[in-house]
Amino acid sequence: MRPTWPLLALTLLQGVSWGVMAVVAAALVGGWPVSTGTVQAWEWLAWGTGALGGSASVFHMHRLAAARYVLRRLRSSWLSREALSTGGYMAVLSVAVALRVLWPQASGLWEAATLLAAGLGAVAVYITAMLYATIPAMRSWHSPLTVVVFFAAALLSGGAGAGAVGALLGGPGLGGLPGLDAAFALVFGALVSLQIRAFRVAAAGVLAATGTGLAGRPYRLQDAGGSRPPYRTQTQIWPVLPAAVRTSGYAAVLVLAVVGPCLAAAQGTTGLVWGAGSAWLGVALSRWMFFADATHSSRVWFADQPKTPSPVRREPGRPYGRRREDSV
Amino acid sequence: MQLTIITDLNKCVGCKSCQVSCKEHNTSGDFGPVPDHDPYREAEGMWWNRVIGMEAGEYPHVGVMYLPKACMHCYDAPCVPVCPTGASYKRDDNGVVLVDYEACIGCQLCMWACPYGVREFDEHEGVVKKCTLCIDRIEDESLPPEDRQPACVQSCPTHARTFGDLEDPDSAVAHLVAERQGFVLLPELGARPAIHYLPRRHAPGIVDPETIDRVLGEGS
Ligand code: SF4
Ligand code: SF4
Ligand code: SF4
C-alpha cells in the first residue's frame, strides 16, 4: 500500500516512546545503576517522541470535523481502541513528567505514574500492531508476526535512543547492560528476515490467475477499469516494488538496524550515538518497506504483476519461421 | 432481505455501459459527486464500478473476460467493524452497505479492510465513497416502479445484470444463483459477498468433418 508520512511518524514515534519507557520501567524495577537525571531525560525523550507521534496522527485524518466520533466503535474497531489507548498513555506519561518537574518530593507517586505509563504504552503498541495484523485482506500483515515485529522495533529504537541519551549524560548507556542494544538489534534482524519471507509468500498468492474463482486459467489483467490502475483513489494498493528496490531496501534495513548498532555498541559514547542514529534509520526504513511492500488482496484486479512469456515466442538467437531462401 | 446484483459473465461484453451509467447517475445523485476534479490531466478519476478486462486461458484456447466490479454489499462486511466512527454501516432492512459522509474522518482503514478494492478516497472532501446499490433510486417512490433499480442494471444492453432480493427464494436472483452455480469473488477471505456472478460456459470445441463422419459411421 501507499506509505504516508503520518502513519510512518505515528507508528515509529509511538514505538520509540514506549521503547524508552520500557527501559525506564526496567531501570526502576531492576535497580539499574543510572542517575536520576538520566531517568528524567529518558522520560522527557519518551514524552517528546510520543507527543510528536500523536500530533502526526492528526494529519492522517482527512476530515477533522468528524473526529469527535472516533471512539464510537470501541467494541470492534482497533482504530477506536488505538485512539483511546494512545491518548491514555500520553495522558499518564504527561502526569508522570509533570510530577517530576512540579512535585519532585513525591517520588513514590512519580514512580507509580511512570510504571503505569509504561504498562499503558505496551497496550498502545499492541493495539496499534493489531490494527494492521487483523486485516485479512492485507495479505502481508495478517499474521502474529506483525505484532512481534512492532514490539521488536519499539525495543530496538527506544533502547538505542535511551542508550545514546544515557551515554551523552555521562552514564554507561543502558545502565550497565552493554549487550542489550546489540541483542535488540539481532532479534529485530531475525524477525525482519522472517517478515521478508512472509511478504514474499503473500505476494505469490495474489495474482490475476487466482482472483476470479473460475476455471480456464490463467487470467491476466488487461484493463483495470480506467485509463490507469487507481493508485490515487485507492491507497490500499501501490505499484509493485521493482525487485532491485526491494532487495536493496531490505539489505539497507539489515545493515542500518542490525550491523550498525552491533558495531557501534563497542565504541563508547560516540558509538552509542551513531548506533542509535543507525538503528532509528533502519527501523524507519523497515516501516516504510512494511507499507510499500505490502500485498493487498485487491492487487488481483489493479496492480501490475510479473509478465509470463507467451508460449508463441521466438527462441533466443533464432528468427521467426523459416527463411524463404533456406527452403529454395 | 439482502439486495444484490447478479452478473452473467457469459452475457457481459465489456461495453462499460454500467461503469459510465454509475458515474453519470451518481455524479448528479444524492450520494455523489463521483469526482473528476481535473479530468484532462488526471483522466482516471473516481469510479464506483469498474469493468475489469482479463485475458483468459493460454494460446490457442484464449479469450477475454469482463468482470464488472463494485461493492459486494457483503453479509460480513469487513469494512464495517473496522470503521472507528461508525460512518460505514450495513442496513438492517435490506443489507445495503453505506457510508455516512458526515461521520467519516477519511482514515481509509475501511479501504484496507475491503478485500475487493471497491472503496475510493475523495481527497478533496476527505471521505471514502463507494457504490450505494443506488439506494437513492431503489427507494425513491416518485420514480416509476421500472426505474427503481440500480443505474448499472438498467443500462446494461445485454441484460447481463439482474437486481433483487437474494433471500427471497422466489426471486429471479435467487433462482439464477441456485440454478447457474452463482459464485462470489475471493470467498476465502470470509466477507460473504451478496453480489454473485454466473460462471462462463466454455465454448464448445471445434469438431472436424472427418470426426463427425467417423462418429456417424460408428453409430450406423
Ligand atoms: S465489497 Fe468491500 S466495501 Fe463493499 S461491503 Fe464488502 S467489504 Fe465493504
Ligand atoms: S475512512 Fe471513513 S468510513 Fe472508512 S473507516 Fe475511516 S471513518 Fe470509517
Ligand atoms: S448499483 Fe448504482 S452505485 Fe452501485 S455500481 Fe451500480 S450504478 Fe453504481
What span, in angstroms and rounded, lies between the C-alpha atoms of A114 and A78? Answer: 25
Choosing from B25, B47, B48 the residue with most ligand 3 atoms within 8 A of its CB, the one to mutate for a pocket test is B48
* Residue B111 near chain A (CB below 8 Å): yes
- The DSSP code for A311 is S
- C-alpha cell at position B108: 481509509
Query: Can you state the percent helix, strand and coil of chain A, rounding each to 5?
Result: 65, 0, 30
Mean pLDDT value of segment A135-164? 96
- Under a CB-based contact definition with an 8 Å cutoff, are residues A145 and A130 in contact? no
Pocket of ligand 3 contains residue B149 by CB under 6 Å? no
Tell me which of B4, B69, B97, B133 to substitute to probe ligand 1's pocket, judged by most ligand atoms within 8 Å of the beta carbon.
Answer: B97
Long-range CB contact pairs, A318-326, < 8 A, 24+: none
Is the previous residue joined to B35 through a cis bond, with omega within 30 degrees of 0? no
Give the start-to-end residue ranges of the domains of chain A: 5-210+234-302
What residues in B contact A301, CB-CB < 8 Å? Answer: 50, 52, 67, 69, 116-117
Q: Is B26 in the pocket of ligand 2 (CB under 6 A)?
A: no
Amino acid at B102: E
Cis peptide before B145 (omega within 30 of 0): no
The sheet carrying B196-198 orders its strands as B161-165, B3-8, B196-198
pLDDT at B62: 78
Which residue's C-alpha cell is 459464485?
A: B183
- Is A182 or A133 the better-scoring residue by pLDDT? A133
Give A-chain residues touching B65 at CB under 8 angstroms.
Answer: 212, 214, 219
Maximum Cα–Cα distance for chain B, whole Å? 76
Q: Which of B54, B102, B119 faces A66 most closely, judged by CB atoms?
A: B102
Residues of B in contact with A1 (CB under 8 A): 112
A180-204 vs A268-292: helix crossing angle, rounded to 10: 10
Tell the CATH topology of A5-210+234-302: Formate dehydrogenase/DMSO reductase fold (1.20.1630)
Residues in B closer than 8 angstroms to A136, CB to CB, are 78, 115, 189-190
**A69 CA distance to ligand 3 middle (Å):** 28
What type of residue sits at position A259?
V
The predicted-structure confidence for A48-96, as pLDDT tens digits, reads as follows 999 999 999 999 999 999 999 999 999 999 999 999 999 999 999 999 9
Domain CATH number, residue B127: 3.30.70.20
**pLDDT above 90 for B30:** no
Q: Give the Å distances, CA to CA, from B73 to A23, A147, B69, B108.
A: 47, 30, 12, 18
Report the C-alpha gap between B123 and B125 in whole angstroms: 6
Task: Give the total number of structural domains in chain B.
Answer: 1
Interface test with B, best of A210, A297, A313 (most B CBs within 10 A): A297
Cβ distance A62 to B53 less than 8 Å, yes or no, reads: no
B67-117 per-position pLDDT tens digit: 999 999 999 999 999 999 999 999 999 999 999 999 999 999 999 999 999
- What range does the domain containing B68 cover? 3-219
- Gap between the Cα atoms of B70 and B118, Å rounded: 6
